[in-house]
Structure 1
Amino acid sequence: MLILLPPSETKRDGGEGGSFDSKSLGYPSLNAQRRVLVRELRALARDPEAMMAALKLGRTQAAEVQRNRALTTSPTMAALDRYTGVLYDALDAPTLSAAARDFAGRHVVVHSALFGPVGALDLVPAYRFSHDSRLPGHPLKKHWGGAVSQALAVAEGLVLDLRSEAYVALGAAPAGSESLFLRVVTEAPGGQKRALNHFNKKSKGEFTRAILEHGRVFASAEELLDWAPTAGFRLHRGAPGELELVV
C-alpha cells in the first residue's frame, strides 16, 4: 500500500540530521533530476530579485532566498516533520506513536516539486519551491512527469493519491483499479456534492493520521471502505478511479 501526499509551501526551520544528500532519498532513479534542480535553484538564489520572481515571492518572504542558497549545507529532518500547513498540522506527525511513524516510513510518500517523491522519513532540508515555480530552462511537468510516473509504477497493492491535481500533473500515480485519487467533498441537504479546495487539506491530514495510527495495510479499496466508518469517516466510491471523503 502507498499513500501519496502533497507537500506544503511552508516548512519548519532547523533539523537534527546532517546536510542534504540526494543518495539517501527513496526512488534513487530520480537522483539525476534532483541534482539538476538543486544546482539550478542554488545558482538562481545568487540573484535574489530573479529568485523572488521565479518563486512568486513577496517582499516579506525574502528569507526564502537564503533557505534555497543554503540547500546543501542546512540541517535536515524527516519530510513528514518538515512540512507544515493545514494538512500537516492535522496529521500532527510529531505526536504520532512510534509504530505509526514506522508505518509511515514504509507506506507514505510526499511529492516534492524540488525532490520528486520522497519517503515520509527521508531527510530533507528547508526550501522554497512549488509546482508553479518557474526555474529557467526546466519546466517542471517536462522535468518530472515521465520519470516520476515510472518511479511510482513499482508500487504494489492499493495506491491512495491524496495529492492536489497540480502535483498529479508532475507525475501520475500508477494506472489500475487499485490506484485511487481521493477527493474531499461536502454534501448539501439535497444530497448534491461539491468538491472542496483549500479546506480539503485538514480532512486529508486527519484521514492520513487515522490510517497511520491504525497501522493496517489495506489490500484493496473495499477493505479501506469497510474500515473508514469505524474510524468516523464517510468514504465512498466516486467517479471512476476516485474515492470521495464526505465532510
Structure 2
Amino acid sequence: MLVLLPPSETKRDGGDPVALSLDALSFPSLRGPRAEVLRETSGLAADGDAMMKALKLGPRQAAEVDRNRRLPTSPTMPAIDRYTGVLYDALDAPSLDGAAREYAAEHVAVHSALFGLVGAGDPIPAYRLSHDSRLPGLRLKPHWRDPISAVLAERSGLIVDLRSEAYVELGPAPARSDSVFLRVVSIDDGGRRRALNHFNKRSKGLLTRALLEARPTLETPDDLMAWSADAGFRLDLGAERPSRPREMELVA
C-alpha cells in the first residue's frame, strides 16, 4: 500500500545539520527533474522581488525567499515532520512510535512541488513552492506530470490518493482496480453531500494516523473499506470516471 499525501505551504523550521542530498530521497528516477526545479528555484531566489511575485507572497512573507535561497545548506528533517498545518497537525507525526514511523517511511509519500514525490522519512529542508508557482524557465505541471505518473504506475499494490486535485494534476495515479482517490464530504439532513475544506484536511490526517498505528495489510479498495469501518471511519464508493482511479468518499 502507498498513501499519497498533499504537502502544506507551512513548514517547521530547523532540523539536523545535514544538507539536502538528492541521492538520499526515495523514488530515485525523479532525481533529474528534482535537480532542475531546485536549480530554477534557487536561481530565482537571488532576486527577492521576482521570487515574491512567483510565489504570490505578501510583504510579511519575505522570510520564505530566504528559505529558498538557503536550500543547498539548510538543515533537513523527515518530510512527515517538516510539514505543518491542519492535515499534519491531525496526523501528529512527532508523537508516533518507532514502528509507526518505520511503516510511514515505507508506505507514505508526500507530493512536493519542489521535490516531486518524497517518502515520509526522506530528509528535506524547509522551502516555499506551490503547485501554481511560476518559475521563469520551467512550468511545474508538464515538468512533473509524466515522471510522477510513471513512478506511480510502476508501484504495485493499493494506492490511496489523498492529494488535492491540484497536485493530482502534477502526476495522476494509474486508473486501475487497486488505485483509489479519496474525497472528504459531509452529509446534511437532506442527504446532500458537499465537499469540505478545513475538515477535509483534518479527516485525511486522522485517517493516515490510524493507518500508521494499525498497520493493516490492505491489498484492494474493498480491504480499505472493511478496515475503515472497523476503525471508525465511513468510506462510501464515489463516482466512476473514465481513465481515473475509482473514487471513495470519506464521510466526516
Q: TM-score, normalised by structure 1?
A: 0.98
| Structure 2 residue aligned with 1:3 | 3
- Structure 2 stretches of 5 or more lacking a match? 241-245
Once the two structures are TM-superposed, the CA of residue 17 in structure 1 deviates from its matched residue by 5.0
Q: Deviations over 1:27-70 (max 9, x none)?
A: 11111111111111111111100000000000000001110000
Q: Distance in 2 between matches of 1:99 and 1:239?
A: 35
Matches within 5 A, 1:9-20: 9-16=9-16, 18-20=18-20
Q: Deviations over 1:208-231 (max 9, x none)?
A: 000110011311111111111221
Residues 140 and 170 of structure 2 are in contact (CA less than 8 Å); yes or no, is this contact kept in structure 1? yes
Matches within 5 A, 1:38-49: 38-49=38-49
Matches within 5 A, 1:101-116: 101-116=101-116
Asked if 1:245 is matched to 2:250, the reply is yes
Q: Distance in 1 between matches of 2:127 and 2:8?
A: 10
Once the two structures are TM-superposed, the CA of residue 137 in structure 1 deviates from its matched residue by 2.0
| 107-116 or 228-237, which deviates more | 228-237
Secondary structure at 2:134 match in 1: coil
Once the two structures are TM-superposed, the CA of residue 177 in structure 1 deviates from its matched residue by 1.3
Letter in 2 for 1:217: T
- Structure 1 stretches of 5 or more lacking a match? none
Residues 17 and 77 of structure 1 are in contact (CA less than 8 Å); yes or no, is this contact kept in structure 2? no
Letter in 1 for 2:250: L
Secondary structure at 1:132 match in 2: coil
Q: Deviations over 1:65-96 (max 9, x none)?
A: 11000001011000000000000000000001
Secondary structure at 1:199 match in 2: helix
| Structure 1 residue aligned with 2:243 | none
| Structure 2 residue aligned with 1:86 | 86
Q: Distance in 2 between matches of 1:233 and 1:175?
A: 24
Residues 161 and 181 of structure 2 are in contact (CA less than 8 Å); yes or no, is this contact kept in structure 1? yes
Runs of 4+ in 1 over 4 A off after TM superposition: none
Matches within 5 A, 1:1-247: 1-16=1-16, 18-240=18-240, 241-247=246-252
Secondary structure at 1:176 match in 2: coil
| 34-43 or 5-14, which deviates more | 34-43
Q: Deviations over 1:141-199 (max 9, x none)?
A: 11110111011111111100000000000001122011100000000112111111343
Secondary structure at 1:153 match in 2: helix
Secondary structure at 2:182 match in 1: strand
Q: Distance in 1 between matches of 2:77 and 2:17?
A: 6
Q: Distance in 2 between matches of 1:83 and 1:147?
A: 23
Secondary structure at 2:154 match in 1: coil
Percent identity, please. 61
* Pairwise CA RMSD: 0.9
| 48-57 or 24-33, which deviates more | 24-33
Secondary structure at 2:104 match in 1: helix
Letter in 2 for 1:102: E
Q: Distance in 2 between matches of 1:114 and 1:141?
A: 12
Letter in 2 for 1:246: V
